[in-house]
Amino acid sequence: MTVMRPAEAAHGLARARSILPALCAGVLALVLAGCSTAGPQPISRNELAEAQTFPYFRLYWVGPTFEGHRLAATDGLRSYISTYGDSVYYGDCVQSKGIFGGGSCRLPLQVTTVIFHMHSNGPLGPQTNLVVRGVPAVQYDGGRSVEVYTGQTAVDIFSDTAAHALAAAQLLRPVNAPGSSTGDLPLPVFCPGLSGPVSPELQSIMLHLPRRACQTSAAYLAFAKSIKG
């Protein structure tokens, strides 16, 4: 089942995908019912198995359902593009229209996992830095999007409401590895490019990342500036 991914938005380094809502008729061909009132068909075992055996990194989801919406589709290995990561999709396009009016909509939930590449979160616009399950995260797009930093990856949550985005962030767990939706997530092995105020709790986490990632990053940037100077 072929999935056309949402357009990239403000990250600059091909990062903040899907700030624009998913489009029923074009962007998510995976939703078999499109924008009809029938709703999506159950995901096939083969498609789910492809996500469960994804080999490159931990691929996150929130389970087979979210807020009453079934898992509609997954990207899996065959659809994987390293720049965009790999996604799981929940619900259909029945609930409401998107910003483009008729024929478009915002899915209740999309969770995209991608290998983190260094970037600044500044271009995201108004945002809030926070701690989610013991790791750094940022909420933006009017609260409807959350990016969570864990392990070697960024987990991007795109939802229809701010409440759904935060709820999904609290339920993250690997689909292709052992894991739980409770307890802390693995700390990131990199220093996220957070922008704006940072709470004391978050600052403490950033200072105690594996291999002193943020201190190392700051030293590298200072050295680079000294050379240019």
For the chain, domain boundaries: 45-228
- DSSP code per residue over 107-146: -SEEEEEEE-----SGGG-S-EEEEETTEEEEEEGGGTEE
Model confidence over 93-120: pLDDT tens digits? 543 333 333 445 678 999 999 999 999 9
Model confidence over 13-65: pLDDT tens digits? 334 344 333 333 233 333 333 444 455 677 899 999 999 999 999 999 999 99
Say how many Å lie between the first and final Cα of the chain, rounded.
Answer: 52
Q: Which amino acid is at 137?
A: A
Query: Three-class SS of residue 84?
Result: coil
Query: What's the whole-model pTM score?
Result: 0.79
Give the whole-angstrom CA distance, residue 130 versus residue 138.
Answer: 6
Please give the pLDDT value at position 33: 38
Report whether 19 contacts 145 (CB < 8 A). Answer: yes
Q: How many CB atoms lie within 10 A of CB 83?
A: 13
Model confidence over 151-201: pLDDT tens digits? 999 999 999 999 999 999 999 999 999 999 999 999 999 999 999 999 999
Please give the pLDDT value at position 226: 82
